[in-house]
Amino acid sequence: MWMEMKRSKIFLSAIILLLAATAAFAFIQDDNTFLSYRVDPKKQVIKLYWQDAHKQNFGSIQNLKTAVEKEKKQLLFVTNGGMYKPGGSPVGLYIQNNATLSSLDTSSGSGNFYLKPNGVFYLTTDNTAAICTTPEFKNNGKIKYATQSGPMLVINGQIHPAFKEGSPNKNIRNGVGILPDGAVLFVLSKQPVNFYDFANYFKKQGCMNALYLDGFVSRAYLPEKDWVQLDGEFGVMIGVTGK
């Protein structure tokens, strides 16, 4: 009996070690595949940027960084914030400083933006961040910033039904999700991934809703993780500075 109990304990210990090793490997895999940045909108400043005071597109992360630093602010993070038309104007809804500069697009069409449901990432005047599907979005006059994109990645805790596990449709992708505590999770894939795996990453982090921002053009600036991409040719960008 004692020998059987000892064997059982050894076997149990081996299982625990195996599970721990598997979890650690999964974490390393995620870390190698995804660049993520968690932001508390109550403690850090999240803004959407498109044009400067002279109505010129910022365009690149370098241009935005230069402009922010001229205001004596520290840029902590930047990523492109949605799809854009030739010339850099936003596709779909764009709100900046409470002003609607581009209207909500509820039409149908081809391409990722129109893979419905698509959705809206927005920030309110009391610095609450949220993501909802396009039909659910309502401007109550308290929306400080908003950008529309598509498709939704996670909808009420479920992966978008159009995504297929094992799909060969892989690309660099970036997106945004809302964590259970209200924090914002920005993610850029470091290597090509399909929509299902990208959405599943947000789901595993606990995001009930997450939104795709863009594909192969995507870039990010996150110096605290030694990730510095200053190029690009974007429309809307999302930037984070300290208060």
Residue 30's pLDDT band, with cuts at 50, 70 and 90, is: low
What are the tens digits of pLDDT across the range 2-29? 334 444 444 444 443 433 333 333 333 4
Q: How high is the pLDDT of residue 53?
A: 87
| Beta strands per DSSP E along the chain | 34-39, 44-49, 75-80, 94-96, 99-102, 119-124, 129-133, 143-149, 152-155, 158-159, 174-178, 184-189, 209-214, 220-222, 227-228, 237-242
DSSP state of 234: -
Mean per-residue pLDDT, 132-145: 97
What are the tens digits of pLDDT across the range 184-237? 999 999 999 999 999 999 999 999 999 999 999 999 999 999 999 999 899 999
What are the tens digits of pLDDT across the range 87-125? 999 999 999 999 999 999 999 999 999 999 999 999 999
Cβ atoms 214, 79 nearer than 8 A: no
Residue 173: closest CA among 205, 220, 131: 220
Give exposure, 139-169, as e/b (b: 16+ Cβ within 10 Å): eeeebbbbbbbbbbbbbeeebbeebeeeeee
Q: How high is the pLDDT of residue 45?
A: 97
Cβ atoms 234, 217 nearer than 8 A: yes
- What is the residue extent of each domain of the chain? 34-242
Cβ atoms 134, 148 nearer than 8 A: yes
